[in-house]
Amino acid sequence: MESERSTHAAVEKALRILMAFVPRNEKTAPVVLSKRLDIHPSTTTRLLKVLKKHGFVEQDPETRKYSLGRSTLFLAQAVIESLNTELVSIARPFIDSLRDRINESVGLEVWVGETTILAYVAPGPQLIQISTTLGARMPVHVAAGARAIMAHLPQKVVEDLLRGEFRAFTPKTITDPKEIKRKLSEIKRKGISLEHGELDEDVHIMAAPVFDHSRSPVAAVVIGGPAYRMKDHMQGKTVSLLKETAAQVSERLYYPDHQV
């Protein structure tokens, strides 16, 4: 039992040493780590040697200071890869929960290439539903989810995306690139994208962006329904619930900020 407690203590100290290099991975001397973490110098040195042996830290041959090693990079890459491939699985329970709270269809638009695809939909219980097709590519100049993402992309990327002519799906569709950019600025400021009958006159959509660990917008949580039902959603508590859901998904993707 005593041996087990000793092992747990050593593991905990080793993990604290690794986390001491977050977030900038600055090269640090063992004595500094020891004082910062309140770990005995000999214990710190011993644990650093073990971590170095397995590639979790490396030591500068000149300064003798330590920094994170490539094994930590491999771990990070594994986590990032799993997040990229399991985005829908990660978002699904939050989207389902939002659907249950507002009784409307909720979906996930994922950024792929130069637009979004509808990757997941949790249908609402209402008798009258909007028509959706999983895997459908959404028109970048119209889709609420695509706009929510574009609002947070670099300006040069947005400029490239808005080159050329755009189709007007309804009389309300915005096709002028300048007007779209003005709309994107408004979306970024408010944190939510609203689409009032631009793709289908009888359908209104609202969306909030989802961010990953690198602060990049990678998806959007989307609520859609008939215009007569969505009017109240767009002016009430649903806006806060939508933002909250997008923030929860972002947190699961290790988005570093506390607020989206």
The whole-model pTM stands at 0.71
Most confident of 127-136, 174-183, 223-232: 174-183
pLDDT digits (tens, 9 = 90+) for 31-78: 999 999 999 999 999 999 999 999 999 999 999 999 999 988 888 766
Name the residue ranges covered by the structural domains of the chain: 2-79, 86-252
Give the rounded percent of residues in the chain with a pLDDT score beyond 70.
Answer: 91
Residue 42, pLDDT score? 93
Residue 45, pLDDT score? 94
DSSP string spanning the chain?
-HHHHHHHHHHHHHHHHHHTTTTT---B-HHHHHHHHT--HHHHHHHHHHHHHTTSEEE-TTT--EEE-HHHHHHHHHHHHHHHHTHHHHHHHHHHHHHHHHTSEEEEEEEETTEEEEEEEE--S-SS-----TTPEEPTTT-HHHHHHHTTS-HHHHHHHT-S----SSTT----HHHHHHHHHHHHHHT-EEEESSSSTTEEEEEEEEE-TTS-EEEEEEEEEEHHHHHHHTTSTHHHHHHHHHHHHHHHTT--SS--
Does domain 86-252 sit in CATH 3.30.450.40? yes
pLDDT at 152 over 80: yes
Task: Flag the least confident range among 30-34, 100-104, 162-166.
Answer: 162-166
For domain 2-79, give its CATH number from 1.10.10.10, 2.170.190.11, 3.40.50.10490, 3.30.2420.10: 1.10.10.10
Residue 260, pLDDT score? 43
